Each structure stands twice: as structure tokens, then as C-alpha cells.
Structure 1
Amino acid sequence: MRAGAALGLAGTLLPLTVALAPPARAASCTTSTGPYQRQVEAFLGRPVDGRQSAADCRATRDFQTRHGISPNIGYAGPVTWGVMSIMKAQKAAGSTPNKAGDCPTNKGRIACVDLTRQLSWIQDGKKLVMGPVPVRTGRDGYETRRGLKQIYWRNKNHVSTIYDVPMPNSQFFDGGQAFHSISGSVWSPPGSHGCVNMRPGDSQKYWELLRTGDDVFVYGRKPGT
């Protein structure tokens, strides 16, 4: 067996992901004002007065339910604001995610993964080919490993041998760490077990654009790790 093939087969034993629980059922709204009340109100387009109202709570609770934040009681706490902060940073990246030049663009086609902003994109030299798109990387203790990698094995209909969950469009670049889609929110905390989770449509486009041997560069630090 060729070394490359052996490596690919070895990867089938290592894939890491996280099984997503169904969205939490809506709980009763809290009347407590959270430490990030004003920021959450502004993000949700609510009147910014820094005081919890029934309407504020419902809007916050709906956001928490959509993105798997628990408890989903409408409290404007650090976890909720942390997710919103990442979403704001992603929006600010616009069409120039590599403006700071942190991802090397002198290597031809490369998939960049910014852990800090939880973003990924594909470049070919200085040309932005796709993205940026939101991703969900490894949680504390299971961080997505940083550095320059290469895609070494691809499996469109992979199933995790550890968690027995589907990992569509898997493209492995570092041991058991891979790009693949998930069915839940990519903004749901606390994160994966090391893989770069993507929305289904984004992972499909990555599958079409990337090939075995393409470079992947992971940098930054995910908040909370």
C-alpha cells in the first residue's frame, strides 16, 4: 500500500466532530438585566436603554434558541454576547478577510482558517476565490491545531468512527481534523472537537473547489480557548 493511501486510511480512525443536540425548547423569559444588555439590544435592533423588557427578552431568547445557546432564557450574558461579537467581526471582514495578510497567499490555492474571527475563505494567490464564510472550530481542550497543513484525504459521505455521526464533505488536513458540514448552527457554543464545522452549502463549495494536496493555513485563537 502506498504511504499516501495508508495515511488516508489511518485518518478514518481519528475524525473528530461534535454531535449537535436538537435546539433547546424555549424557556420562560428572565426579568434580569444582563451585563451585556446594551450591546445585545443594539445587535438585535432593540431600543438601547440597558434595561431588560419583555420584548428584549423574547428577541434575545429567540436568538439563543436559533444558535443553541443554553439556557435560552433571554439573559444578556457573556456567552450570548460572545456569539454576537463573533458575528459582528465576521460581517466587518467583508470581502477582504485577509486584509492584515496573516494567511500566506504566495502558495497558490489555499484555504485560510482564522480562529479568532471564526472565518474561513479560499484564495488563489491574491485572488479571493470564495468566502469568507463562518465556521465553528475546536472548543477549549480540543482546539483546531494551528499552522500550515495540506488536505490529505477526502470522503464525501464520511461517518465519524468516534461519535457515529455523519460528516458530509469531509476534507482532512491534520490527523482527524477536517472541514465538514453540520446540520446545526455554526455559531453554537462551545465548539467542535477539533474539526472546522461549516454550513452545508459552504462545505459543498469547499468540496468542489479544493483538492488533495491543497494547502490549509490555520491561525489565531478562538475566544474562550
Structure 2
Amino acid sequence: MKEADKRRGALKVVGITLGAIVGVVAAVYLVGVAVFANLFFPNTVIAGTDISLKTSDEVHAILEDKVGGYEFTVKGQGIDLTLTSQAAGMSLDGKTIAQEMHSRVDPWRWPVEVFRDHDETASLVASYQTTELADALAAAAAEVNATAEPPVSATVAYDERKGAFVIVPESYGTAIDVDKLVDEVSAQAAVLKPHIAVSTDVLALPDIVEGDERLDVARDQANALIAADFDLTMNGIVGAQVTPELVASWVTVAPDLSVSLSDEALVAWAKDVAATNSTIGTTRSWTRAADGKALSVSGGDYGWRVDADGLVSTVRDNVAAGQTSAVEMPLKSKAAAWNGAGAPDWGARYAEVDLTLQHTWLYGDDGSVIWESDVVTGNPNLGNATPTGAYYIKSNAGASELIGLKPDGTEDYRTPVDFWMPFKGNSIGFHDANWQSSFGGNRYTYAGSHGCVNLPPAKAKELHDLLRVGDPVIVHG
């Protein structure tokens, strides 16, 4: 019995002791809960400042003081600035931030949390009441960008060595994207970092980078255009060539990678081709077979004239179609032959008027003389010289009435003729002149016409019977 009582007494003591310990622990725990209901845990920092065991009001005061004295540097990528919170227009609602930070303190977990590190810097968010910080950063970025290399998007360009369009990779450069700079610096200044290193993330990026499917499409479109390779012919003779290299010089790849032919380049080329291959009004030289005399003539309205506008359309359409066979040059007027610039283009059949010799010839289809005659041409001493140049017969209908006008527009003369064969408009031409007593020699210097080529009546009829509308008339001398 006594042994049992002893055991019960010992257990009672143990129970009382354990209860006391639990009570003490509970009391300590509750005291800790009460303490940390108002204080931050040990080992708590914000922006490098220790706020361990501080109240919310004390932290509020610390934050206000910290922001008020905040000074920071911004360096990197060419930027080098030192700013204060005042210069940056920064402000901080320290009371709200302190309260919100402490609201996340769980006092019931204090036995665990007091042994951990707590960094509340992320809770520290300053705001910007004005644009001073953005303005300062924008000005610094502008100074850097003035000499920086801008980014260049990947594009498509012609590679002469490969003879094809290829993708050209992008380049990044050193220019700064102002918005990215402001965002990066603002985020770090908001948590009061004293030294802000500007990263490469703020550099301006190219819009298009290698791997973009649009590059492949643009390259293929450009190479499809340079598949064209054809000659432009005039009367079967090559007047110009459209080669892949030439087309490549016209191809433009826009920033959005749209591919087209440059209107400016194509029009300039077409004008040059037209000027090179058009002969109307140009000087053409040849040797007269009958006497071996070297002759030349310029002016007039006969010859080749390339249609420059039509050439642009023709080339554009044929390039788009990938043409590889000869294409006829679009023309506004055509001559009998094409022998290159500076050479006669009137072929074997033509009429020739030599003002010096006062003589005219008609050459047949084989180039031989089939008709000739002395003439009386315009009187140069009265300002009526027969105009030189390469012309062509406009009509050959027979009889007509020639009407001359005075400078004031009133009628000067009215003369009927049996054979009227105009070659310069309808004002200058061959016709019979029964009023002339003789032909040839120097009669034209004192009894010359108003500009026409006067012929003996019989010779005029012969020429009328032989001459065809469109026959070239070459007047020189």
C-alpha cells in the first residue's frame, strides 16, 4: 500500500512539474506574440537599413528620412548620372508602407521567424510625383544616342558574289531605348538602390531579327524578280538588255520587308534607254555613195522614238513574268533601219535634198538613184531658208493650194500647185513651180521660195508618181 502511494506521489510531482514548464513556455510564447504584434522580427532590413524590433511608426520615420536623403548614381551604357530624390521628384508613403509590411508579420510564428532573415526591400516602392527622373534620363540617353550606333534590322540584300538575294542578319548597335531606360532605373530607384547599373536590356532592339519567316518570303520574292534576263530589240537589233544584275539594282526591300521595283530607278533607266536609242533630232552621219562626200544632218521629225513610259510598263511586266526571251522595244515612232546612235536610220530608200548643190535625189529600195532634179529652195537672205533635218513625206495627194501668211496673220499669197508633197508638217514640201525660170545654181539666194523645194513641173509629176507617204526626206547643206 505504501509503495503504491509513493508511486502516485511521484507521478503527481512529475505532472505538476510538466504543467509548470508548459505554463512557462505558454506564457513566454504569448509574451512573444504580444511583443511581435507591434514590432518587426529580428534580422529585418529594408533597403540596407536594419529595422529589427522597430514599431511601424519608427519604421515610418526611418523611411521618410531615408527617402529625403536618398542620392543615387546611374551608370552604364554611356550613362553617368548622380541624382537626389528631390531632383528625381520622388516621394514615399512611409506610413502606409510600414503598416503594410507589419501586417505581413505573423506574431504567432515568432519562435520560428526570429531565427530567419527578413528583407522587406521589395515592399519599398517610391512614387514619382513629377517627370524629373524621366526627363533627366531622356536627356542623358539623347546625348548617348547622338553618337551611338542604331540597331539595324535583319533584311534582304543582293550579294554580287552569289548573284542572288540573301538574308543579312541584324545588328544591335549601342543606341538606348529611352522607355526601357526609364523603366529599369525607376524600378531600382523606387527601392532606393544607391548605385544603379544600366544593363544591356535598355539597348534599342532591331524590329526584325534573323529567323523571322518574313525574311524568307522577301528573299524568295526578290530572287524571283532577278530570274528575268532578256534583250530589248529594235528592228531585230538589241537596243538594251535587262539582266539579273540590272534588275537587282531596281529591287527595293522596304523596312517591312515588302519587295518591289523602284519606280525612281526604273524610270531613270527607261529615260536613259529612250535617250540613247531615240534618233529623232539627233545628228546622223554618213558618206554619200555617188561622190564619197561625208555628210551629217540633225533636226527633223523622222527616226526612232522610244516610248519611255511604255518601256517602264513593258519591263515591269516582263520582269514579273520572269521573261528570258527577246522583247520588242515599245516605240512612239519607228524608222526604216536601226544602225546604232549617230548612224543613218532611213534605210536604202529615201529622198535627199542638198541645199548647197541645189539638187535632190530619190533613192529606190536597192539604194540606187531612181530620180533626181535641180531645185530652188528657200531664200536664206529673206529668212526663208529650207529647214535642214530628217523628215518624212506626210502626204502625196496631188493638187493643192499653198497659202502663205504675213507675221500679223493676214494672207500673204495663195498659189495653186499640181503636186504637193509636204515633209515638214504641212508647211514645207516638194511642189511644182512653173513660175521659176530656172533651177539649181544660186537662184535660191535671190529668187528662192518661202522654204519649200521648188521643182520643174515635169520633174514634180515624176516625183509624185514615185514618192510614197512615209518616205524619209533628208535635207542638208
TM-score (norm 2): 0.25
Counterpart of 2:453, as a letter, is: V
Aligned-residue identity in percent: 31
Residues in 2 aligned to 1:98 and 1:158: alpha-carbon distance in whole angstroms: 36
3-state DSSP class of the match of 1:205? helix
Separation in 2 of the partners of 1:207 and 1:158? 13
Larger Rg: 2
Inter-partner Cα distance in structure 1 for 2:346 and 2:396: 24
Alignment of 1:103-114 (within 5 A): 107-114=347-354
Give the superposition deviation at 1:171.
0.3
Residues in 2 aligned to 1:173 and 1:114: alpha-carbon distance in whole angstroms: 15
How many residues align? The count is 124
Provide the secondary structure at the position in 1 that maps to 2:350: strand
How do 1:79-158 and structure 2 match up within 5 A? 97=290, 99-100=292-293, 102=295, 107-124=347-364, 125-131=366-372, 133-140=373-380, 141-158=383-400
Matched, 1:165 2:407: no
Distance of 2:356 and 2:401 partners within structure 1 = 28
How far does residue 168 in structure 1 lie from its aligned partner after superposition? 2.0
Larger relative contact order (CA 8 Å, sep ≥ 6): 1
Contact kept? 1:105, 1:126, Cα under 8 Å: no
Runs of at least 4 residues of structure 1 off by over 6 A? Answer: none
Partners of 2:429 and 2:350 in 1: how far apart?
14
Which structure is higher in helix share? 2
Q: Residue 458 of structure 2 corresponds to which residue in structure 1?
A: 201
Q: CA deviation at 1:193?
A: 0.4
Residue 161 of structure 1 aligns to a residue whose secondary structure is: strand
The 3-state SS of whatever aligns with 2:379 is coil
2:431 pairs, out of 164, 175, 180, with: 180
Question: What 5-or-longer segments of structure 1 have no aligned partner?
Answer: 1-95, 221-225
- Tell me the equivalent position of 2:199: none
Unaligned runs of 5+ in 2: 1-288, 297-343, 405-412
Letter in 1 for 2:418: P
| Partner-residue secondary structure (3-state), 1:213 | coil
Residues 105 and 123, structure 1, Cα contact 8 Å, conserved in 2: no
In 2, Cα distance between equivalents of 1:101 and 1:209: 27
- For residue 179 of structure 1, what is the amino acid of its counterpart? F
What is the CA deviation profile of residues 142-164 of structure 1, one whole-angstrom value per residue up to 9, with x for unaligned ones?
A: 11111110001223111112221
Q: Is the 8 A contact 1:154 1:170 kept in 2?
A: yes
Q: Supply the RMSD in Å over aligned alpha carbons.
A: 2.1
TM-score for the superposition, normalised by structure 1: 0.51
Shift of 1:127: 1.1
Deviation at 1:190, TM superposition (A): 2.9
